[in-house]
């Protein structure tokens, strides 16, 4: 069993809960209130900025030119494609770019992005890759799941979202990360393996919490 398969088995319960979360289910059956998705879109914009910062440090810390190229490709796809689509898509929800830029991170978004940035600054490239994999892998799995189980989503805006994350291009980037992490694990000692595992497990928990925060439209209590 590969290292990433072991990581998945260890976090399987969280992954399964994520897939049946009412926010995800609501996209699939078109019952999710638009106000919750608008909240999610704004928080996701904030998240993606620090996600890009995290990837940029993986480019710097990668040991091989080929790996630098792949992380650079992931960064380009995220910052120039996904975020551009995000801004344009948000307009369909009557969310202006200015509104996106002025969004205050929720407690969960703040905690999740701090985890990613801290990992990026202090960890090795395997640890960084492990911290971003749950997001990349999870979105690809959710997008594909919804495209299969709900091929005719009644809400056109949700259909566009599913189409983006179920794409072959998005899946290929997630698959590359999986292969990269498995290869790093083959030549890593116990300390690095434990750090990679810790980063993956924590990000997996934050992925679930991110959906849950959007469903609850989480705010700062003080």
Question: Would you please indicate which residues are annotated as catalytic (active-site) residues?
Answer: 135, 207
Phi–psi pair at 40, nearest 5 degrees: -60, -45
CB 108 within 8 A of CB 206: yes
Task: Measure the CA–CA gap between 54 and 79, rounded to whole angstroms.
Answer: 12
User: Which of helix, strand or coil describes residue 2?
Assistant: coil
d(CA 21, CA 28): 11
Distance CA 177, CA 130 (A): 8
Contact 196, 184 (CB under 8 A): yes
Provide the greatest CA pair distance for the chain: 50
User: Are 47 and 109 within 8 A, CB to CB?
Assistant: yes
- d(Cα 147, Cα 170) in Å, to the nearest integer? 14
The DSSP string of 103-129 is PPPPHHHHHHHHHHHHHHHHS-HHHHH
Find tokens 């700062």 and name the residue: 220
Contact yes or no for 115/203 (Cβ under 8 A) = yes
């Amino acid at each position: 069993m590969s290292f990433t398969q072991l990581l998945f088995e260890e976090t399987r319960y969280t992954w399964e809960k994520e897939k049946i979360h009412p926010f995800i289910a609501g996209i699939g059956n078109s019952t999710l209130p638009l106000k919750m998705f608008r909240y999610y879109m704004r928080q996701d914009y904030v998240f993606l900025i620090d996600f890009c910062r995290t990837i940029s440090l993986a480019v710097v810390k990668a040991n091989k030119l080929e790996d630098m190229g792949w992380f650079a490709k992931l960064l380009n796809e995220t910052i120039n494609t996904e975020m551009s689509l995000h801004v344009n898509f948000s307009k369909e929800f009557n969310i202006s770019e200015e509104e996106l830029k002025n969004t205050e991170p929720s407690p969960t978004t703040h905690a999740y992005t701090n985890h990613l940035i801290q990992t990026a600054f202090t960890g090795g490239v395997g640890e960084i890759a492990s911290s971003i994999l749950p997001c990349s892998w999870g979105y690809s799995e959710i997008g594909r799941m919804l495209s299969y189980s709900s091929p005719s989503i009644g809400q056109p805006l949700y259909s566009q979202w599913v189409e983006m994350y179920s794409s072959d291009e998005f899946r290929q980037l997630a698959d590359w990360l999986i292969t990269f992490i498995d290869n790093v694990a083959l030549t890593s000692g116990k300390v690095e393996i434990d750090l990679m595992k810790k980063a993956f497990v924590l990000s997996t928990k934050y992925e679930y919490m991110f959906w849950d925060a959007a469903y609850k439209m989480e705010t700062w209590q003080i």
